[in-house]
Structure 1
Amino acid sequence: MIYDSLDSFLQTGNSAIAKGPVAMIFVEDLTEVEGTIRHHLKIGFASILVLSPVHPELPEDLMEIIHLITWNTLADGALEAAVNSISVAAPQGTWMYYCYNAEYLMYPFMETRSVGELLAFHTEERRSAMLTYVIDLYARDLNEYPSAVAPQDAWFDKTGYYALAREDASDEYRAKDRQLDFYGGLRWRFEEHVPYLKRSIDRISLFVASPDVKMLPRHVFSDEEYNTYSCEWHHNLTASVASFRAAKALRANPGSRQEIHNFAWHNSVKFHWNSQQLLDLGLMEPGQWF
C-alpha cells in the first residue's frame, strides 16, 4: 500500500499496526532499501512501514506487503514525530521497532528464533523496551565501494567499545540508574567529524507502544525505565543494529570524504551476518534466554 502522507496512513492504514511487532524503516537515501526491508521480513516482523520522502523503486513482491508512507525523514525532529504518532495510534502494548535504510537488526539466536519469539520472552521478563548497540559496518575497499556500503563485503570494529555513566540532569552528583552512554566504532575513531551529541551508539530500537510514553531526541524515551539496559534483578536481553549509516555519512560529507581514505584498521573483522559473532564479542547479551 502507498500513502501520500503520514496523516493519510494514520487515518486509513491502522490495520497495518493492529498486530506487532511492527518495523518502521526510515529512508534517508535510496541505498540498500530493498535489502533492509528483506532482512526485517526474514526475521519475522508482522508489518513493515517504510517512510521515505521519495518513493524507492521496489520489486512487486515487496510492494504487495509493505506500507510505503511519504514522509520527510530529513527534517528536524522527523524521526521522533513519526515514531510518536504511529506508536500512539497502535494498540497499547504493541512492540515497535525503528531503523534507517542500510541498517539491520541482529539479536541472540536469530538464526532459529523469530523477532516475535524474542519479544515474547522479553515481555515475560516484564520489560517494555530493549537496548540495542549500533555496530558500524563499512566496506573494506573504498575504491571498489565509494559509498562504503557493501553487504557482501561488510567489516566492523572488533574492539574499541566503552561505556560511561549517564549523568542525571537533575542531580550533578548522581548517575542515572541502569543507564549508560555507549561509544565505539566509526563515531569513536573519527570523532572529529561527528557532532558530539551524535557520537553515542546506544539506541532504544525496540519498545512497547504506549500513549503515555514519548520518544525524545538522542534515541531515548520519556519513561526512564525504557532507557535502562536491564531490570533491577538480573541481566536482560540486548540486541544490535548493524549499520552502514555512519560510514555512508562520513563518505557523503565533503570534509570527511577528503580526509578519510580507508575505514579499515588492524582491529577490523569481516562481518559474518550471524548472532554468535556479536555474542562472542560482547556486543549483545542473551540474558536468561537460552
Structure 2
Amino acid sequence: MSGFRDLKTFIANNGLKKAKGPIAVILIEDDAAIATTLSHHLKLGFRQIIALSSNPLPEAMLPLAAHPAASDGAAPRPDSRVVNLQFNTRHHQAHVDAVNMVIDAVPEGTWLYYCYNSEFLFFPFSESRSVGEMLAFHAEERRRAMLTYVVDLYAPDLARFPDAVSLSEARFDQTGYYALGRRNREGGFHERQLDFFGGLRWRFEEHLPADRRRIDRIALFRSTKGLKLQADHRFDIEEYNTYSCPWHHNLTATITSFRVAKALAQNPGSRAEIRDFNWRNSVPFRWNAQQLMDLGLMEPGQWF
C-alpha cells in the first residue's frame, strides 16, 4: 500500500519529536483481537497509539474517531490518535528494537507503554480513571517505571476456539502465582526486585524456554536519555526494574494476555499435547480491574 510509512522513516521525519505521553506502542503479530486491543487502550486515555505491523492494517481494524463529521454525510474516519507503521514484529527481539527507537525519539520524560495485540492493560480503578491520572500520581511518588504482571487469558474450549482466543468467554488462573528473589551478578539478590511466575507459563513450563517463563514486565516507564529495554523485558537502569520505592508499596498494573495461549495452541511442539487450558482454578475473566485487585494481581499502593 502506498503511503504505508515505516517506523524508522516516521521517526526520521520528526514524527515523535514533540509527542506528548502517555504513548502506547502496540506490536501486531497476528490477526487476533486487533481492533479490540487498539480500542481498549484508546479508552484508557493514551494520547497516541503507535500500532506496528508488518503489513498495513485494514481500515476496519482501526478504531473510529469518537466525533466523526455528521453534517456532510461523510463516513466516520479512523481515530487520528492511532498511527499504523510498518515494522517487522515477528522478529524475536522486535519489542527491543521498536521500544528503544521510540525511547530515543520522544522528548525526555515521556511516559511510554508497550504490549502486543490481544493484550489488555488494567490498572487500579481503570474503569473510572485514566492512565494519565494514574501515571501523574505515580510520578508524584518519584517513580519512573511501573511493574506490570502479565496474566494469561485463554479460551475455555480449543475445539471451538483453536487459536485459544475468546473475548466473550475468556478465562484465567485465579491461583498459582509466586515470586522468587532476583539474583545479581555477585550471587546475592537485587534490592526490591523479584522474578514472578504463574499462569500458563507455570503450568506448561516444559513447552517454554526458561528465559520466557517470567510474567513480570516493566511495560510502563518514563523515557530518559540512554535508557535501553532488554530482551527479557527489563531495563539497563536497575531502579526501573524495582517493584516499589524503598519506603512504601507503589502502584502496579496488570496486562491480561492471550499471547502465551495462542503460542501453546498453535506451536507444533505443544499443540498435540494440550487438549485445553482449563483446570480446577480456572475462572471467567470479568474484564474489570477490581477482579484483578481482589486476587492480588495488582497493587493500588497509596492511590485511593
TM-score category by the smaller chain? over 0.9
- Which whole-Å deviations, capped at 9, do the CAs of 1:120-150 have from their partners, x for residues lacking one? 0000000000000000000011111111100
Q: Which has the higher strand share?
A: 1
Larger radius of gyration: 2
For 1:153 and 1:76, the matched residues in 2 are separated by: 30
Q: Is the 8 A contact 1:17 1:47 kept in 2?
A: no
Distance 2:156 2:299 in 1: 27
Matched with 1:232 is: 246
Structure 1: give runs of 5+ residues left out of the alignment.
none
Residues 144 and 76 from structure 1, CA distance in 2 versus in 1: closer, same or farther, beyond 3 angstroms? closer
**2:13 alignment counterpart:** 12
**Is 1:288 equivalent to 2:302 in the alignment?**
yes
Match of 2:274 among 260, 263, 274: 260
Answer yes or no: is 1:32 the counterpart of 2:33: yes
Larger mean CA deviation between 2-11 and 153-162 belongs to 2-11
Once the two structures are superposed, residues 222-248 of structure 1 have per-residue CA deviations (whole angstroms, 9 ceiling, x without a partner) of 110000000000000000000000000
TM-score by length of 1: 0.96
Q: Give the corresponding residue for 1:151.
A: 167
Which of 176, 187, 192 does residue 178 from structure 1 map onto? Answer: 192
- Aligned CA RMSD, in angstroms, stands at 1.5
Paired AA for residue 190 in structure 2: K
Mapped to 1, the partners of 2:18 and 2:179 lie a distance apart of 35
How many residue pairs were aligned?
Answer: 288
Q: Distance in 2 between matches of 1:219 and 1:202?
A: 8
Moved more, 272-281 or 69-78: 69-78
CA distance in 2, matches of 1:74, 1:160: 30
Q: Structure 2: 5+ residue runs without aligned partners?
A: 66-77
SS at match of 2:59: coil
- Distance in 2 (CA, whole Å) between partners of 1:141 and 1:213 is 42
Of 105, 127, 131 in structure 2, the residue corresponding to residue 115 of structure 1 is: 131
- Deviation, 1:64, is 4.0
CA distance in 1: counterparts of 2:200 and 2:124, whole angstroms = 23
Conservation of the 8 A alpha-carbon contact between 1:177 and 1:228: yes
Does the aligned pair in 2 maintain the 1:33–1:56 contact within 8 Å? no
> Does residue 204 of structure 2 align to residue 204 of structure 1?
no
> Which of the two has greater helix per residue?
1
Cα deviations by residue, 1:66-124 (Å, 9 ceiling, x for unpaired): 11110001113221111011111101010000000000001000111000001000000
Which AA in structure 2 matches 1:222?
Answer: D
TM-score normalized by structure 2?
0.92
Greater shift after overlay, 140-149 or 183-192? 140-149
Alignment of 1:195 with 2:196, yes or no, is no
Q: What is aligned with 1:21?
A: 22
- Tell me, yes or no, if structure 1 residue 104 matches structure 2 residue 82: no
Distance in 1, matches of 2:249 and 2:18, equals 30
Mapped partners of 1:10, 1:68: distance in 2: 13
Deviations 1:147-193 (A, max 9, x none): 11001110000000000000002x11x10000000000000000011
Which residues in structure 2 correspond to 1:59-138 (within 5 Å)? 59=60, 61=64, 63-65=78-80, 66-138=82-154
Change (3 A) 1:37 1:17: farther
* Per-residue deviation, residues 186-208 of structure 1 (Å, max 9, x unmatched): 00000011111000000000000
CA distance in 2, matches of 1:112, 1:64: 22
CA distance in 2, matches of 1:179, 1:155: 29
* Equivalent AA in structure 2 for residue 161 of structure 1: Y
Q: Give the letter for the 1:104 counterpart.
A: F
